[in-house]
Structure 1
Amino acid sequence: MQGAITIVLLILSNVFMTFAWYGHLKMKQQFSWFDSLPLLGVIAFSWSIAFLEYCFQVPANRIGFRENGGPFSLIQLKVIQEVITLVIFMIFSSMAFKTESFKWNHALACVLLVCAVYLVFKK
């Protein structure tokens, strides 16, 4: 159960992280008021979203970490988080940025990441 909770929290965390890191690029295209914000305003906007990311990321790591009674080692947590990050990013970028395209080398990179997950869980 702790493993599933950890993964759900990591997914939620990464949704907010992706929007904090890349959402401002889309908002600049869609909203004139956002385009006129100075860089410091954009940073503050992204930090406010990143705060929500941390509200999910920190509990995910605490619940999932083996030394806290969770099922995952530190390395396993990191690899899981990276794969989730890339999946969320691919979904986000394909929905928000129609000019970005998914190519064969991106697919191969994803396959290699799945291999990394397999290897990190191998005894």
Structure 2
Amino acid sequence: MPQSMAFFLPPLLLVGSNVFMTFAWYGHLKHKGASLVLVIVISWGIAFFEYCLAVPANRIGSSVYSAAQLKTMQEVITLLVFSGFSVFWLKESLTFNHVIGFVLIAAGAAFVFKG
């Protein structure tokens, strides 16, 4: 696989996997009347697709990123995906404190990728 594809493909796959995982973990919060067993089964089904994207992202990405960089990338992507999800799906607002906390996490992530 070309080096440029191995550089750009993992973040794209991780975005997709995080969308699936966020729905698997938190999507049911809009449907609190559904039984817990049903929610668990549906969440596992959604999580299958998350794994179908996350595993290749990490396998392909390991040729250009360290494991720590891949994990850090995944965490930052998770925060971005979850922020949009909580605003648009759960109709929750992001506060100034959330934004500051996320910025501090992103700043810490920057050190993992530095030099």
Question: Once the two structures are aligned, what percentage of the paired residues are identical?
Answer: 52
What is the distance in 2 between the residues matched to 1:97 and 1:19? 11
Between the two proteins, the alignment pairs up a number of residues equal to 111
- 2:103 paired with 1:108: no
Instruction: Give the equivalent residue in structure 2 for 1:63.
Output: 60
- Cα shift readout 1:34-75 (whole Å, capped 9, x = no counterpart): x3x43111100100000000000000000001xxxx211011
Aligned CA RMSD, in angstroms, stands at 1.2
Structure 1: gaps spanning 5 or more residues: 30-34
What is the distance in 1 between the residues matched to 2:26 and 2:87? 12
Q: 1:9 aligns with which of 3, 7, 13?
A: 13
Structure 1 residue runs of 4 or more that deviate by more than 3 Å after TM superposition: none
Secondary structure at 1:102 match in 2: coil
Instruction: Give the equivalent residue in structure 2 for 1:91.
Output: 84
Please, which moves more after superposition, 47-56 or 104-113? 104-113
TM-score (norm 1): 0.85
Which one has a bigger Cα radius of gyration?
1
TM-score (norm 2): 0.91
Instruction: Give the equivalent residue in structure 2 for 1:24.
Output: 28
